[in-house]
Amino acid sequence: MNICIFCSSGDGINPIYKETAYQMGLMLAERGHTIIHGGGTQGLMGQLIRGAAIRKGRVIGVVSDEVRKVEEHTNEFQEVIATPSLSARKSTMMLLSNAYLIMPGGFGTLDEACEVITRKQLGLLKTPISFININNYWSSFFAFIANAEREKMIITANRDTFRIYKSVEHYFAETDG
């Protein structure tokens, strides 16, 4: 299965984020999954691909020409697909993927997460979306969604829009990844 991971190109202040990304790479590779990601080699993305490399997993990094000037990228540990823009990068990642895992990240990760959630809400996407809510990282986002639902701005209840897992182990225990 091709699993797209949205996560940070930064490390974060808590080492648990890097450890989790590394474990996710290891465990996905052990199960024979291909990792699709934004192509970065720093931060959580870097840990993800290093974990996969230990188990000789296949990794495809989708890199935007716009981001190449800002983020470090390499062909080491991964196949690279170049795209002209961030929008094309997201589209390519979605075309290649059978499932989505969202780990801690910043604006780029949030943008990617909202895009796949919106597509699923509109019926344009049928694949599973899962948040790995390490250290309650995404809890404020889920509170926003709950408030938007109370205000009748969005509907996610009873739609299986996405699932929430507290750890990598929880994700694999529930999905058999």
Check: CB of residue 131 under 8 Å from CB of residue 161.
no
Tell me, yes or no, whether 53 lies in a domain. yes
Each residue's pLDDT tens digit, 68-101: 666 666 666 678 999 999 999 999 999 999 999 9
Each residue's pLDDT tens digit, 2-16: 999 999 999 999 999
Which pTM does this prediction carry?
Answer: 0.92
For residue 36, what are the domain limits?
2-172
* Confidence (pLDDT) at 72: 60
Tell me, yes or no, whether 157 lies in a domain. yes
Q: At residue 32, what are phi and psi to the nearest 5 degrees?
A: 80, 15
Tell me, yes or no, whether 153 lies in a domain. yes
Domains in the chain, number: 1
Tell me, yes or no, whether 45 lies in a domain. yes
Q: CATH number for the domain including 41?
A: 3.40.50.450
Tell me, yes or no, whether 12 lies in a domain. yes
Tell me, yes or no, whether 81 lies in a domain. yes
Check: CB of residue 2 under 8 Å from CB of residue 31.
no
* Confidence (pLDDT) at 83: 94
Q: What percent of the chain has pLDDT over 90?
A: 79
Q: What percent of the chain has pLDDT over 70?
A: 93
Residue 161 has pLDDT above 70, yes or no: yes
Tell me, yes or no, whether 111 lies in a domain. yes
Whether the CA torsion 174, 131, 32, 119 is positive or negative: it is positive
With cut-offs at 50, 70 and 90, classify the pLDDT of residue 155: confident
* Confidence (pLDDT) at 120: 92
* Confidence (pLDDT) at 156: 74
